[in-house]
Amino acid sequence: MKDNLYEQAYHHAIFNKILDTMLYNYIVKSFDGISQKIEMNELKKAGWVASILSDSNKDIHKQRAQIFGSLLYLLYSDDVNCNKMSYVIFSRTGNLLATKFLSVLYDSDSKQNPSHIKFKHEFGTVLDFEVGFKRNENIIDLNQESIITTDFQKKLWGSLFGPNHISISAPTSSGKSFIIQSYIKYKFEILEKFNVLYIIPSKALLNQVSEQFRRILNKEIMIKTAFINNQVNYDKPNYDKLMYVLTPERCLNLLNQKNDSFSPDFIFIDEIQNIEDEEGRGVLLEYVLGDLSKIWPKATITTAGPNISNSDVLFSNIFNKECVENETSLSPVFQIKAIVSPNFIGNHLDLKVASLQNKNQRLNISVPVDFNVKQVTNSNSGTFLSKVVKRIADGEQSIIYSPRTDFAEKWALEHLNTLESKASNTLRELIEYLKEEIHPKYYLVKCLEYRVAFHHSKLPELVRKEIESLFDSGEILYLYCTSTLIQGVNLPAKNLFLISPRKRSEKLSPFEFGNLIGRAGRIKDSLYGSIYYVAKDNGDEVLAEKYFSENYQKDVVLASSKSLKKDNFIETELKDRTLDSNKNKSGYTITLLKHKYLSGENELETYLNNKSLDKSQIAMIIDELESQLSNIELPYEVLKLNPSVDPMLQDKLYKNIKEEGIIKWVISPNPNFHKRIRKIDLEKYEFNDLSFYWQFSILCRKINDIFGITKETYFKHNIQKLYIGNISHFGFRWLHNMSYREIIEEDINYYANVREEINAENENDINKRINDVMNIHSKVITFTLVKYFKVLADILAYSLSEEEKEKYKLILSLPVMLELGTMEPIMIQLISSGINRSVALKVFNEFEKVHHYLEMDVIEWLFTKGTTLQMKPIYIKYLRELGYIR
């Protein structure tokens, strides 16, 4: 009976007519348009219907009620009775976070403590009790503070204190991360011992997540972004309260730690949907998660992601364990989805917003402009987009999505033509840093002068971090972003614009599109967010309509399951011993199956049974793998250390080392170690008598011969004309503490004066080399090269005697050194403690000046002397935010 009432309310004609009119009026108000009249008696009737919907158990009903409550406040913010009605609706839908905007109802003190407010106006006896009881019910009391929550957040909070594992599926704006952070903080405060492992999908999130926790946690709690095995004596994880924020790749060292010094009590995996990535990351994540649940069976595991259907089933498929599902599609903010298209005849922009009453109808609004619409539309996409953004969201924080890195930078530069320079002192700190650390002619320098920036995975960590911080604080108004947003980088904004829903050359899936537009609107600042799909022609409009009407929920399927379900997988792909993972995504699954087979036949059989393969398919897979792997000599205890690398290639390297002799595969200190040796003189030396540069370069070439680093660089990362000699030279400079500026200057000089391919004064040429250098370091040096040097180091660690390990300890440490960008132990300690490499270089330069610095602990010294360091303000601010300067 009640369900029928809610459905009737949801489809109530007057209610939806008023809702559409309110939405129309609010939008036209922004463009000085003429509002449509709303009769007060109809508004009250619509409010009554909304109050009914707010009591429903269905998210779709609650969302419709919330939209009414939000629009009612936005249109009638000074009307006490309208505010009361909005409050009741928000309260009943469980969205207590939204009530903070209804300030006309509270006394001034309540603004300071929104969890315990005092009302200036009465609702009536029954409603006073209802809203008071509900508010009290949704308050969470922490040790030193109280927080107000939504119903979803309160339920999640309760689940976290239960004995079960948890799977979370909720919109980006639902506040799930806030509750996870609050829970971790609370547990650290009340327990004497507590360890956390927080897994994020990519390095782009390392700084953002670790710094969020450094801001809220006690400074005594150690937060690390890399685990370094004690065999190299850099990590000292002997803390009672310790947190690791790691990527799946960085988890491998943790899973294979030598002395079990770290054991997590709580494991959180964010953006779990990345487990379906078929480019290799998904299969690796599956392997890592499967292992950690076996190694630490007592740890409580929580996974989270947006718009995942049956998240508990996904959890079971990964861990083979049951969990409690916390799922909602209800967001505390509502979204205005608009299509912006040019109108040549009227020389204006058409703004079309989906009707809430009828999905097939649009609310049409004409937006006058001061430019020639046809001329601008026929120009490049960046010019058209910047004109649209300027007209629709002038002065409002906006994210503009770009499918490619180069487009993001180009479009950001186009935007500058519509603006005046307004950089604040805070922005100037970053501008000066970029001039010093990157290059004075770097495009980002010019953009920041106008409060514009671009954000993508190639940017150095500190630059990305500063952009995120400055956007969050409102210093940056317009941010041009790539698909890093989809990967989980938390950059919400009031407005999101897009003109091409692609990720590089591929169209975004409905799931990816839903994840992207979830960045529009944050309850911290607003009750709503706006998505503007900029359509240049009718074809774009049709595509926009399709994307806006899609169901963004989906069943997440493991990348390995996708490969195993292919019709020709066993007969064709599995049997192809020359299958190249760079060209065929199934190669990553085949590598995983090989590892499962080598770990024991029962393990593989159990794994395949869980994938619902029939007995004949399982038998065929096992027989084929047995045939391929029968001659493997390298023990599985070594092979398993690198689960993303084909065991057959690892074994090939092992056999080459045995055949050539270990001395040809280690880096040997010698009198010529730092000597400059010309290439033409190499044959005069034995390998172990060469300088470090040439030993490293030759090892790079030999590793490339086996694993195809240059091929992977070309096919997977789309980096062209990069030879192994170039790669080794980049790696050498990176290891020797050269700053980005020094590497970039040397690179520009080489291409200008030696290769004569660029003009060292030309802004475009300079930025091309800057981007190439950044891309090579982020994709090749600190990722691909690290991956294969780790294979070499692990095989050598198995093969060497204890005496030889000490003698050749440099090669064993090289993977860590390459990833962190230094060979200096003190630098490694600083970086693994969460300090950015650029800042760590500045700190180390100061630390070196201290008498007997080698006898001191750099972290303790930093705590003591940090305020006296002679460094630029941006470095001091960064260290203060991390808690290293008090």
pLDDT digits (tens, 9 = 90+) for 801-816: 999 999 999 999 999 9
> Where does the pLDDT of residue 232 fall: very low under 50, low under 70, confident under 90, or very high at 90 and above?
very low
- Rounded to an integer, the average pLDDT of 245-251 is 94
Q: Hey, what amino acid is at 844?
A: F
Q: What percent of the chain has pLDDT over 70?
A: 98
The Cβ of residue 605 has, within 10 Å, a number of other Cβ atoms equal to 18
Q: Which position has the higher pLDDT, 205 or 57?
A: 57
Nearest CA among 540, 535, 539, 542 for reference residue 384: 535
Where along the chain do its domains lie?
2-138, 151-327, 350-502+514-549, 560-630, 647-799
Q: What is the pLDDT at residue 234? A: 44
Instruction: Decide if 151-327 and 350-502+514-549 have a common fold.
Output: yes
Supply the pLDDT for residue 18: 96
Residue 63 CA to its chain's centroid (Å): 27
Indicate left, alpha or beta for 457 from its phi (over 0: left) and psi (-120 to 50: alpha): alpha
pLDDT at res. 259: 67
- Higher-pLDDT residue of 655 and 116 is 655
Work out the pLDDT band at 449, boundaries 50, 70, 90: very high
One-character DSSP codes across 440-505: TT-HHHHHHTTTEEEE-TTS-HHHHHHHHHHHHTTS--EEEE-TTTTTT----BSEEEES--EETT
350-502+514-549 is a CATH 3.40.50.460 domain: no
pLDDT at 723 over 50: yes
Sequence-ordered list of residues with C-beta below 8 angstroms from that of 686, at least 6 positions apart, any chain: none
198 pLDDT above the threshold of 50: yes
**What average pLDDT score do residues 126-147 get?**
90
Which carries the bigger pLDDT value, residue 437 or residue 111? 437
The radius of gyration of the chain from alpha carbons, rounded to an integer in Å, stands at 29
Instruction: State pLDDT tens for residues 505-558.
Output: 899 999 999 999 999 998 888 999 999 999 999 999 999 999 999 999 999 999
Number of neighbouring beta carbons within 10 Å of residue 259? 9
CATH architecture of 151-327: 3-Layer(aba) Sandwich (3.40)
| 519, 172 contact by CB (below 8 A) | yes
d(CA 818, CA 382): 37
Our CA dihedral for 559, 560, 564, 570, rounded to 10 degrees, sits at 120
Residue range 161-183, pLDDT digits in tens: 999 999 999 998 899 999 999 99
Range 750-761 average pLDDT: 95
Rounded to the nearest integer, the mean pLDDT of the chain is 92
Question: According to the model, what pLDDT value does residue 355 have?
Answer: 87
Paired with 315 in beta bridges are none
Alpha-helix residue ranges (DSSP H) falling in 684-785: 692-707, 709-715, 724-735, 740-749, 763-775
| 561-598 confidence digits (pLDDT tens) | 999 999 889 989 999 888 888 888 899 999 999 999 99
The length of the chain in residues reads 886
Other C-beta atoms lying within 10 Å of the C-beta of residue 592: 22
User: Which of 123-137, 296-310, 324-338, 362-376 bottoms out in mean pLDDT, i.e. has the lowest?
Assistant: 123-137
Res 685: pLDDT:
96
d(C-alpha 488, C-alpha 398), whole Å: 18
pLDDT band at 231 (very low <50, low <70, confident <90, very high): very low
pLDDT > 60? residue 155 = yes
> Tens of pLDDT along 787-797?
999 999 999 99
Task: For residues 230-255, give the mean pLDDT.
Answer: 75
Least Cα distance to 843 among 824, 834, 830, 857 occurs for 830
Q: Could you report how far apart the first and last alpha carbons of the chain are, in Å?
A: 62
